[in-house]
Amino acid sequence: MLHSPSGLIYTIKGNGTLSIIGYRGGSPRLVIPDEIDGYPVVSIGDYAFSECSGLRTLVLPGSLRDIGDHAFENCTGLMTITFPEELDVSRLWPVFRSATSPSASSKRS
């Protein structure tokens, strides 16, 4: 496991890509970059942001291709999620269903 300065916990996959597997940052706003240490961020793992109730705003990278099951489970404070244009969000509602409050919104970058 590796850690970024922003509190992201990640692993490098054998194919030279990066997967976010956790978050221990304290900021209410998180922008996940397209790359960390030169590796493209292509996935967010299962339960990676589970219980991150202090997270309010999340900006996902354009390099993102997959979000794991329950990745944002019980992120009850999450109000705004910015998705990259390239990401097919039609299948993602189950990922976020227990994460957001009733007034939460999403938008495209």
pLDDT tens-digit profile of 28-77? 999 999 999 999 999 999 999 998 889 999 999 999 988 888 898 888 88
pLDDT at 87 over 50: yes
- Which of 58, 108, 56, 57 minimizes the C-alpha distance to 86? 108
Instruction: Determine the Cα–Cα distance for residues 77 and 89; give it in Å rounded to an integer.
Output: 20
Where are the domains positioned within the chain? Answer: 2-108
Instruction: Determine the Cα–Cα distance for residues 38 and 17; give it in Å rounded to an integer.
Output: 9
pLDDT, tens digit (0-9, with 9 covering 90-100), for 7-41? 999 999 999 999 999 999 889 999 999 999 999 99
pLDDT of residue 85: 79
Mean pLDDT confidence for 70-95: 78
